[in-house]
Structure 1
Amino acid sequence: MKRPFIILIVVAVALTGFLYSRPKVVVKDEAKANRDKVAENKPASKPEDDGHGHEEEASQAPKLSAEQQKQLTALQQKLSSASDKNAIYEQIAELYVNANRFDSAAVYAEKIALANPTTENWMRAGDTYYQAFTLALRQENVQSFTEKTRACYQKVLEKNPRQLQAKTNLAMTYVQSDSPMQAIMMLREVITEEPNFEPAIMNLGVLSMQSGQYAKAADRFKQAIRINPNNLNALLGLGYSLIELGEKAQARTIFEDLKKKVKEPTLVEEVNKALESIK
């Protein structure tokens, strides 16, 4: 499958777990590429070091607005005299998340977890690094965020081996590794433990789609829809799988239904393209 929609599905589905507790973020291919552009100018302010050698990683896109940059500068100035740095880290992390700068947000989420190593804090750090990992294109960034993501989720699983979202996301970091089958095995372990765990089912659907096993992908997406009829990503994946299986009439029905439900411009555009392709 070479159509651009595979990127859209991979991004949307890979972030399913994080999106349970965050606003939905759909990213165009061009926007993904921008995240990995090399900075042409030095940062306006020196990133705060947490004492462990972890400094904020530079990112040029999307850029902070003037108001966000002003807020960031003020928060960084407070850090030097703050008795409770975690409270400031929390605000900085949230600012970066709101700006879709997950690479930078993850640095501060990790600082919070290092200072207060609860399962919840490590989970948040892992989720945010996972966002950065999913959106990265340059191999050095993928490798860096992969290692960070795994380290955070391992901390979670040490404390709570039944944290299935952590295990699901951890599995997906192995998809492009030297051990891709490890991803499949871990996801299967998750659904063995919890057969209706939607994120793991969705990710298995995506992996089947990427490997050209569209019948298996369709079955996974149908399963996800039975669990959650409002899962638009599952409907999208099912529609594309049916196209590849030659079931164009069924696919058309799905995309016509999706057209009534989706509001995000990128998804609307993709649904329209799909309908045009099966006329």
Structure 2
Amino acid sequence: MKRHFLIIIVAAIALTGFLYYRPKVVVKNEAKANRDKVADNKAADAGKGQNDITTQAPKLSAEQESQVTELKKKLAASTDKKALYTQIAQVFATGNRFDSAAVYIEKIAIAEPTTENWLKAGDAYFQAYNLALKQENITYLAEKTRSAYQKVLEKSPHQLMAKTNLAMTYVQTDSPMQAIMMLRQVLEEEPNFEPALMQMGVLSMQSNQYARAADRFRQVLRINPANLNAQLALGYSLIETGEKAQAKKILEDLKTKVKDPTLTEEINKALESIK
């Protein structure tokens, strides 16, 4: 249960950085989409007309495949490729193909290398990175994420979201302490930066330091009482520290606020574990 719950939390936090290119429709069971986003045929450069990243995720629907095919046909003759790249990215995002979506968001950044565009590319690759399971794909997507965010930080060294997400790409490397050091740097610059505090809490959970994790999530909730991810993570952390009565109160309250069926299921599992 611990690993499964951590996957849910990490994926939920990562989703917050992908809102710009999120489809307008709700993707059901999105938290369960932690499947391998396999990059079997990775192209060397997103600006040189490479094929989309191949994945083992469920294929796009027939309608979505048709949409992508038609949009690609328009690319050759179009003078407004940015609009088409955006539309293709949105189709892939709707189908939970975040790695392929990131390819087209990166194309926009290559064509128009603004800080904003590279930040969106970094966010997109970071989303795909958080949903990868195979080590080769984690490594590849981490590199793509870092590359995009580093371009952001070259122009905007105080872009704290880019720094925070960049730090998290080092968690599953030979230098996990680099992630912690980078997050500490972010918090030195802005002690109440909510995303960095959330990630520090997640890292504490991953190392079974649940009391420390609970402190981080309480700090987040003092800053933003409406942060549902922090409430969920705090509830689980308190279960692990033996503070079950408090955990039950938090989770039961959270259950009245959550509308997503997958998160509701996770809350029910956590409550069941208290009994």
TM-score by length of 1: 0.89
1:11 equivalent in structure 2: 11
TM-superposed deviation, 1:56:
1.5
Equivalent-residue separation in structure 2 for 1:255 and 1:245 (angstroms) = 15
TM-superposed deviation, 1:59:
2.2
Change (3 A) 1:262 1:50: closer
2:2 equivalent in structure 1: 2
Segments of 5+ residues of structure 1 without an aligned counterpart are: 40-46
Equivalent-residue separation in structure 1 for 2:10 and 2:131 (angstroms) = 10
1:257 equivalent in structure 2: 253
1:225 aligns to 2:221 (yes or no): yes
- Please give the residue correspondences for 1:262-277 in structure 2 after superposition, counting only pairs within 5 Å: 262-277=258-273
Equivalent-residue separation in structure 1 for 2:120 and 2:145 (angstroms) = 10
- Please give the residue correspondences for 1:1-279 in structure 2 after superposition, counting only pairs within 5 Å: 2=2, 4-19=4-19, 22=22, 27-29=30-32, 31-33=33-35, 35-36=37-38, 52=48, 54-279=50-275
Offset from partner CA, 1:146-185 (integer Å, 9 cap, x none): 1100000000000100110000000000001111111001
Task: Determine if contact 1:35/1:62 at 8 Å carries over to the other structure.
Answer: no
Segments of 5+ residues of structure 2 without an aligned counterpart are: none
TM-superposed deviation, 1:224:
0.7
Change (3 A) 1:22 1:191: farther
TM-superposed deviation, 1:250:
0.2
Number of residues of Structure 1 aligned to a counterpart in Structure 2: 270
Equivalent-residue separation in structure 1 for 2:173 and 2:125 (angstroms) = 17
Change (3 A) 1:191 1:68: same
Equivalent-residue separation in structure 1 for 2:47 and 2:35 (angstroms) = 31
Task: Determine if contact 2:214/2:238 at 8 Å carries over to the other structure.
Answer: yes
Equivalent-residue separation in structure 1 for 2:219 and 2:203 (angstroms) = 15
Q: Percent identity?
A: 67
TM-superposed deviation, 1:4:
2.1
Once structures 1 and 2 are overlaid, which stretch shifts more, 237-246 or 58-67? 58-67
TM-superposed deviation, 1:3:
5.1
Give the superposed CA RMSD: 2.3
Once structures 1 and 2 are overlaid, which stretch shifts more, 192-201 or 1-10? 1-10
Change (3 A) 1:261 1:103: same
TM-superposed deviation, 1:80:
1.4
- Detail structure 1 runs of 4+ shifted over 4 Å in the superposition: 19-26
Equivalent-residue separation in structure 2 for 1:158 and 1:88 (angstroms) = 28
TM-superposed deviation, 1:28:
4.3
